[in-house]
Structure 1
Amino acid sequence: MKKTLKICGIVLGSILLLILIVNIGFSLWLKYKLPDYLKNKTPYEISYQSLNVEILSGSISANQIKVKTKQPNNLERIALDGSLEGLNISRLSIIQFLKNDRIEANSIKLTKPNLQVRLAKPKVDKTGKNPIPFTIKNIEIENGNIGIKKSDQTQLFSAKDLNLDVKNLSLNQNPNELPFALDSYNITAKDFFFRLDQVYSISCSDITTNNGKLEITDFEMKSLVDFKNWEQSFRSQKSLFGIKSKSLIFDELVFSKTNLSLKNAKIKDPEFVIQNRDNKVVKTNKEKSQFDLNFENVDILNGKLSILKANGKKTLSIAKFDANIKSFLMNEDTSKNKLPFSYQDYKITGSQFFYDAGKYYTMDLSSFNMTSQHIDLMNFKLNPKVTRAAFVRMIPMENDLFDISAKRIQLNGLKWKFEKDQPDILLKEARLTNVDANIFRSKIPKDNPKEKLLYSKLLRSIKFPLVVENLNLVQSKLVYEEDKPDSNGPGKVFFTNFNMNVKNLNSNKRKGANTKVPIVINCRFMDASPMKVNWNFDTANMRDNFTIGGYINHLPANDINPFIKPYMNITATGTITGLNFDFKGNNDIMNGKFRITHKDLKVTILDKNTKEKKKFLSAVANLVVKKDSKKFPESVDIYVERNKQRSFFNFYWKGIEDGLKKSLLVIKID
């Protein structure tokens, strides 16, 4: 046993002695022969004040180093130009560096480097990818000025006054994961620049870390190619992004190949610009990102947003907004949903919102306030882009032109979610205040053959659960104008002081829920007479049965002339002291009772084409129409069949029209 231990000791001692001799010999060789080797056998001119090599640890240290590439135009080699006050490398593979232009080391420390680096032309490996040019787990840079370019002279990285300490760094070439991962980092730098990929770069004037907090000043992420070149070369990308911010602050920012997370983020004075391509040539990329985004709390202060079309015109813009998002998460599980992320809560406030709503309209808001449960919009406007005459020339068939504004729109008690890729929306109250809506329709274009659905069927056609428990329209004004080719100007009917309550507005998609929709309207008809309407329908009723009844009191007859003149070819004077109606109908017919009381009523019958007074027929009509009605006249029965190419309100008006004709005119008028 003692003999065995003695032999082992001798062998171990011999090995250690051999290592010591090799270490001393290699150090002496480096001291006396390395300068000649570097001068004659490497592509670099290198000088240094001192050099130390430790074979046991595999480390190299040197100081007062100067380096310059002998053949700067040789793209097969890494080009170096500059100086370092100190260099410390642990476990460097010299063979990989000299033979394959790869830097492989456990750690590297550069003291006061002033270096310009041009990477070698990448060599494609067996996988068809460009190999990563270096593998260094730990990097430390002290007070450096460094610039790195690719072989084609495009800037890859640059920084001044750079102080960097990175632990356990690993680079990644999987495009669906983050480009790098690390355990910890500390950095301070000025005029920082980094090229993210073929399209984007990031830059900032200052970057610092302090106790895990990262602060960035004058941040910018921008495209390195113009929009036209991007549109042609990167067809799988739908949008080109640009971001500027005066200040970014991140708490506890954590990187890994599959996860980017942070505790708090504060983004000050950002400007977001998104330019979308035309949708004609986009090739969709079916691969989904394999990394997670997990942000505990994000604040955006005094932001601006612009979304542009391919021609540079704005699709959407917000002049100023503030936002807070809590517990934002996007991962493999959330990406399977229709909404590819989740969040706990959010709040967004902003001003001067603009949206290009398509061919005919733009939309504006003076301000907005949104949370996950409430939406508050101020000074909403839906503006026509074109005049009425231009609109009529543009449309292939009959359609409405809307001009709508609202002082305030409030949505309260909002609850929504996605289930089986379908939204599920419940809203406690929608309140629209001071709405001013003008609806214009010209009868000059050809009829639209498409069936106009009654509101019960229209709501039922919504494919997801939707319930609005209370919809209130407050102190509003509605105007409907219809222009006929054979009339002198548009027929017009309008309602002022319009107040409407709708309960249980629903899409008949929630099992066991009440599907009946009662509507109560109080307003002034033609800004002259009190009017009340009770209207009821049931979204579950497949025949679309409905009832609608109400009254109009003390209506000067000449106030309805703007509408009855184009359609009934009559005008009237006097007073309609009361007009009552009680109709019921479905998708095919409407019938019911109509009664009118009047005083000092006279009618004038007009020629259909010239609109001139027909004296004889007018005289005959006024003989039949009594000057004053009875106090309680008998009602007349109305019956109309629905033209399904016309709206519900056209259907309703036909009932009123039928009642007026039967009450006032007992002679047939062409």
Structure 2
Amino acid sequence: MKWKKISLGLIFLFFLGFVFNFGINNWIKSSLPTFILTRNDTPYNFTYSDVSYSFFQRQMFISDINIAPKSKKKGIYTIKVKKIIIHGVKFIRFILFKDLAADLIEIDQPDIIIQQNVDSLNHKNDLVKYKLGNSIQIGKFEINHGNLALFDRTNGIKKASLRNLNLHLSGVLWYRVNNEKRIPVTYDKIKLEISDIFYQLNEIHQLQLKKFKFKDGLLETSQILLHPNISEDQFKNGNYFQKSLLDIKIPTAKVKNLDWGYDNNGYFFLRTSKIVIDSTYIAIKEKNTKSRPKIITEHIDRIIPFNLNIDTIQILKSKLNFNDHITSNNINIEIQKVINKVNDKITLENLKLYDNSLVIKQNDHKTAKNNSDRFTYLFDDVLEIKNFLIANSHVQYSNPDNNSLLEMGNINYSIHDININTIFTNTKKYIPFSYSRFKLEASHIIYNGFKYYNFKIGKMLLSDHKFVANNLNLIPTISPKKFSVQKDSKNLFKIYIKHITLPNLNWSLVNNNFNLQASSVIINKLDASMYQNPEVMVSSKKIHLNKYDLNTEIRIDTFLIGKSTINQYNAYNGKLTSSVKDLKLSLHNITVKDSLDKYTFGLPFSFSKFNIVGKDIYHDMGYHSIHMNNLLLTNSSLYAINIKIRPQKSQLSFMRKRGIDAYTINLLKITIPKLNFGSLDKEIEFSTPKITFQKMETSIHQFDIPNNIYKPAYKPFFSEKLRKLKFKLNIKEVDFINSSLTYEEESLHNNTGKIFFTNIHAKIKNLSSGFKASNLPDVIIDFKSNFMSSGKLSAIWKFNPLNKTDSFTVQGIINQFPAEKIDPFIKPYLNISVQGNIKKVSFDYNGDNTVGSGLFGMDYQDLKVTLYKKNGEREKKFLSSLANLALVKNSKDTLKMSEIKKVERSKDKSFFNFLWKLTLSGLKETLFIF
């Protein structure tokens, strides 16, 4: 019985609730339109097809809702909603106060259409506070499976859309407008999920996102696509403001602590602590060469058209393609403290690229010289980067055929305080880039872009004030033999440098003027081989620095080379032509620039002082070679030890045909303590008060050549050689100490004639060239020696370089020597030999480039001559007897002088040959040989 009463009570309550619920539903259906009509002060009409209320569930259901503008001028939203569910409705409050209070409002499958002027999207218009918000107290707000589309009201083009919008808000205050977020309510927490987002960024780019999640400041996205909606050909040939065509694919991205809204000036802002992007692909196509004329406005092609504040951006394991010119399959980037201010500038605290591999491909067409009034840039903006870093990266530069030209490994690079400003109107010859300092390191560098070389550097450091490199190699890619065939280049180099340093380096680029200055350039252990092509003439020694339309000037205070070896070869036959070991070189105050008119020693740059130290020096002089053990040469002194000059064996046959004298010289030491080259950047001169040759052993060999093979060559006198020198020579005194001289002339039918001088002590005074000279003192040679190892010779030789007849005088005496000592001199040519004692020989020669004459005399005792037949073996006894009778008759213990008749000079023979002929003529007169 008890349970029956309970059951009947429950049935009554259920029936009562059903009746109450039915009554409430009827009341709501009649009251809700009145509530909307009286409380809806928004610019939108709110209509629906049905509304119901569940008393037991405390839920209100509204279906088929339409929200449309009351006036086209005011409203921008048109919304269709399948169903709205309001949970936890406080019905009594709704009845008593006509306020809609509940726990949650759920909007199901809304379709939202927004029509708005696109220009207004970038500026905040303060939202109007409506009374309707005061009548709604619902703490939670949800949108499920919604869709949204944004259209430009002016042309009806869709600018943005999204699908499957799921929005959850908590702590919602409907009566408080959120002007910062540009929405009519405020909230505490938000959860947002969206699929298939589309946004038209500009006239040629659109943004697409597959999925978008946002909760508690964490934003996660997937399949982000920023790609063009036109073809590359359309971009090249069209008329667009944009200067870059972008194609970006981002599989996933995470944004932490995201905040957004509009600032007090009405500009959109975005703030976040960290953005992480993984496996991104970035393609940037060629900028538009036919872009629209530049309009002076701050809104054209800005990189970021809104305010931005990001603590960290990470782009990991990504790919890059810039115009098929710069590509990479592995890009890792970290950016810190990114701040953008609209119409002001973008600042980055740190921009770091690490573990990257970059490939740069050379354009397949020649870049035309830019003669236009302005440069073009990829954007119009101001970008400041405090620190730009590249760590542990690799770069390869290739030609259009994908052949590697440059490779740099393990690159570590930093540059600071970068400022890039492309916001200006007149950009002719203006580089919109500045920085404070930089540093570049690489473990290896390989450059293959030279015509005949590969260039390698083992390790390098370059900063704004320093350059250091190790193990530099310049390696020929062509053999010397093949190089000798070409006609373009004179020299082929093979160079190894162990270490090079520029410890204090400064450069600047201002108004297209590039200046580089270094306190020193230091090279340690240089090994260089140069292969010279003798068939190629050097047309110009100038260095052209303004290839890129820059006015360039390079100044180096000190240039040093330490402990090096240099070899020069003939490229055709591989013969060594020059070499030096243990070379140490220093040059000072070097200047290199295009406008330089004067060069030092014919080099394409100028310098003021120099110092050269070398050992084991060799040089092919053509017919002769010179070898030197040690050399010290400065701009003010010269010292050399153990110098040897030898005729080249390979040249002897040619020298015989041309009658070229063969010199053999052994010189112990040459000293020039005070040397003056003049102003090295002007006309070079060679001036010194004194040169000393110590123990110089010289042998001169004159060939006697059959007429049928002889090819005569003119041999000028020393005076003519001095007169025709192309530089100023001024030597006050030349000293020869403890030296020797041997002169030999071949005879085709007899033995070689020979004369020699030992223990020479000679002085040459006033040795000058005729270069730009109108008056010069005579050159005077004061010569003292032992004659033929016995007699004492003293002679004075004079000439003047400016005398075009090359006139000269030679005066001298020889005292006390055995007569047979001159047999090597007279027998091959006069077919005589002598015996006895010659007390004194006196000679006084004068002549010019054509003829010579003079006086010759001897004072002799017990002199006896022997005359031979032409073969020089059989004696002419009768003639010998007659000659000896004449000698006895004229022997009066006095000096007998004989006049030398005119002797013609053989112009294909040396000055020494002329003296030889004059002396032989004097001997004939004195010894009665006719």
TM-score in terms of structure 1 length:
0.80
- Which range is displaced more, 441-450 or 417-426? 417-426
Give, as a single letter, the amino acid of the residue that structure 1 aligns with 2:881: A
- Residue of 127, 145, 148 corresponding to 2:393: 145
- Which range is displaced more, 589-598 or 131-140? 131-140
Following superposition, the deviation at residue 82 of structure 1 comes to: 2.0
How far apart in 2 are the matches of 1:232 and 1:614? Answer: 61
How far apart in 2 are the matches of 1:132 and 1:368? Answer: 57
How far apart in 1 are the matches of 2:812 and 2:449? Answer: 68
- Residue of 748, 755, 772 corresponding to 1:485: 748
Determine the structure 2 residue equivalent to 1:65.
316
Are residues 1:248 and 2:500 paired? yes
* 1:146-184 deviation per Cα after TM superposition (whole angstroms, max 9, x unaligned): 2323251405232216243266699xxxxxxxx999755
In the TM superposition, 1:588-603 aligns within 5 A as 588-603=850-865
Determine the structure 1 residue equivalent to 2:699.
438
Contact 1:451 1:644 in 2 (8 A): no
Following superposition, the deviation at residue 565 of structure 1 comes to: 0.6
How far apart in 2 are the matches of 1:453 and 1:541? Answer: 13
- Residue of 627, 631, 641 corresponding to 1:364: 627
Contact 1:165 1:187 in 2 (8 A): yes
Residue 281 to residue 512, structure 1, CA distance change in 2 (3 Å): closer
In the TM superposition, 1:632-651 aligns within 5 A as 632-645=894-907, 646-651=909-914
Following superposition, the deviation at residue 505 of structure 1 comes to: 1.2
Are residues 1:162 and 2:412 paired? yes
- Residue of 82, 97, 107 corresponding to 2:330: 82
Determine the structure 2 residue equivalent to 1:308.
569
* 1:405-452 deviation per Cα after TM superposition (whole angstroms, max 9, x unaligned): 211122343323479985443232222111111111221243554554
Following superposition, the deviation at residue 67 of structure 1 comes to: 2.1
Contact 2:851 2:905 in 1 (8 A): no
Contact 1:236 1:283 in 2 (8 A): no
Give, as a single letter, the amino acid of the residue that structure 1 aligns with 2:843: F
Give, as a single letter, the amino acid of the residue that structure 2 aligns with 1:66: K
Give, as a single letter, the amino acid of the residue that structure 2 aligns with 1:162: N
Residue 400 to residue 274, structure 1, CA distance change in 2 (3 Å): same
Contact 2:506 2:518 in 1 (8 A): yes
Give, as a single letter, the amino acid of the residue that structure 1 aligns with 2:666: S
* 1:251-310 deviation per Cα after TM superposition (whole angstroms, max 9, x unaligned): 332344733321223222222333333434878698833322200122222222223332
- Residue of 526, 531, 534 corresponding to 1:275: 531
Contact 2:832 2:866 in 1 (8 A): yes
Contact 2:903 2:918 in 1 (8 A): no
Are residues 1:292 and 2:292 paired? no
How far apart in 2 are the matches of 1:476 and 1:318? Answer: 27
Residue 506 to residue 260, structure 1, CA distance change in 2 (3 Å): same
* 1:70-125 deviation per Cα after TM superposition (whole angstroms, max 9, x unaligned): xx9x9946432224262579899xxxxxxxxxxxx998965462222223462537
Following superposition, the deviation at residue 201 of structure 1 comes to: 5.8
Are residues 1:332 and 2:585 paired? no
Are residues 1:319 and 2:572 paired? no
Following superposition, the deviation at residue 143 of structure 1 comes to: 2.8
Contact 1:236 1:282 in 2 (8 A): no
SS for the counterpart of 1:527 is: coil
How far apart in 2 are the matches of 1:409 and 1:229? Answer: 38
- Which range is displaced more, 403-412 or 391-400? 391-400
Determine the structure 2 residue equivalent to 1:404.
665
Following superposition, the deviation at residue 137 of structure 1 comes to: 9.4
Contact 1:83 1:113 in 2 (8 A): yes
* 1:562-618 deviation per Cα after TM superposition (whole angstroms, max 9, x unaligned): 110111010111111111122333344433332212222211100013532122222
- Which range is displaced more, 454-463 or 378-387? 454-463
SS for the counterpart of 2:657 is: coil
- Which range is displaced more, 371-380 or 75-84? 75-84
Are residues 1:35 and 2:286 paired? no
How far apart in 1 are the matches of 2:585 and 2:575? Answer: 25
- Residue of 526, 536, 546 corresponding to 2:808: 546
| Aligned-pair identity (%) | 22
Following superposition, the deviation at residue 372 of structure 1 comes to: 0.7
Determine the structure 1 residue equivalent to 2:218.
none
SS for the counterpart of 1:502 is: strand
Determine the structure 1 residue equivalent to 2:924.
661
Determine the structure 2 residue equivalent to 1:531.
793
Residue 120 to residue 370, structure 1, CA distance change in 2 (3 Å): closer
How far apart in 2 are the matches of 1:350 and 1:561? Answer: 44
Task: Give unpaired runs (5+ residues) of structure 1.
Answer: 1-11, 93-104, 171-178
SS for the counterpart of 1:662 is: helix
Residue 204 to residue 602, structure 1, CA distance change in 2 (3 Å): same
Residue 283 to residue 166, structure 1, CA distance change in 2 (3 Å): farther
SS for the counterpart of 1:267 is: strand
In the TM superposition, 1:182-197 aligns within 5 A as 184-187=436-439, 189-193=441-445, 195=447, 197=449
Determine the structure 1 residue equivalent to 2:831.
569
How far apart in 2 are the matches of 1:619 and 1:266? Answer: 79
TM-score in terms of structure 2 length:
0.59
Residue 553 to residue 268, structure 1, CA distance change in 2 (3 Å): same
Determine the structure 2 residue equivalent to 1:113.
354
How far apart in 1 are the matches of 2:641 and 2:227? Answer: 75
How far apart in 1 are the matches of 2:352 and 2:746? Answer: 82
Contact 1:325 1:345 in 2 (8 A): yes
How far apart in 2 are the matches of 1:626 and 1:117? Answer: 103
C-alpha RMSD of the superposition: 4.4
- Residue of 450, 455, 468 corresponding to 1:215: 468
How far apart in 2 are the matches of 1:531 and 1:316? Answer: 39
- Which range is displaced more, 489-498 or 81-90? 81-90
Please say which structure displays the higher CA radius of gyration. 2
Residue 419 to residue 54, structure 1, CA distance change in 2 (3 Å): closer
* 1:509-539 deviation per Cα after TM superposition (whole angstroms, max 9, x unaligned): 4556532111100001112211000112223
Are residues 1:467 and 2:730 paired? yes
How far apart in 2 are the matches of 1:241 and 1:132? Answer: 40
Following superposition, the deviation at residue 381 of structure 1 comes to: 1.4
Determine the structure 2 residue equivalent to 1:174.
none
Following superposition, the deviation at residue 622 of structure 1 comes to: 2.0
Residue 224 to residue 626, structure 1, CA distance change in 2 (3 Å): closer
Question: Highest relative contact order (Cα 8 Å, sep 6+), 1 or 2?
Answer: 1
Give, as a single letter, the amino acid of the residue that structure 1 aligns with 2:698: A
Give, as a single letter, the amino acid of the residue that structure 2 aligns with 1:240: L
Following superposition, the deviation at residue 644 of structure 1 comes to: 3.9
How far apart in 1 are the matches of 2:384 and 2:843? Answer: 85
SS for the counterpart of 2:748 is: coil
Determine the structure 2 residue equivalent to 1:176.
none
How far apart in 2 are the matches of 1:253 and 1:194? Answer: 23
Determine the structure 2 residue equivalent to 1:380.
643
SS for the counterpart of 1:486 is: coil
How far apart in 2 are the matches of 1:111 and 1:639? Answer: 95
Task: Give unpaired runs (5+ residues) of structure 2.
Answer: 1-118, 126-178, 183-196, 213-220, 229-245, 256-274, 277-302, 341-345, 421-430, 547-551
Contact 2:794 2:814 in 1 (8 A): yes
Following superposition, the deviation at residue 349 of structure 1 comes to: 1.1
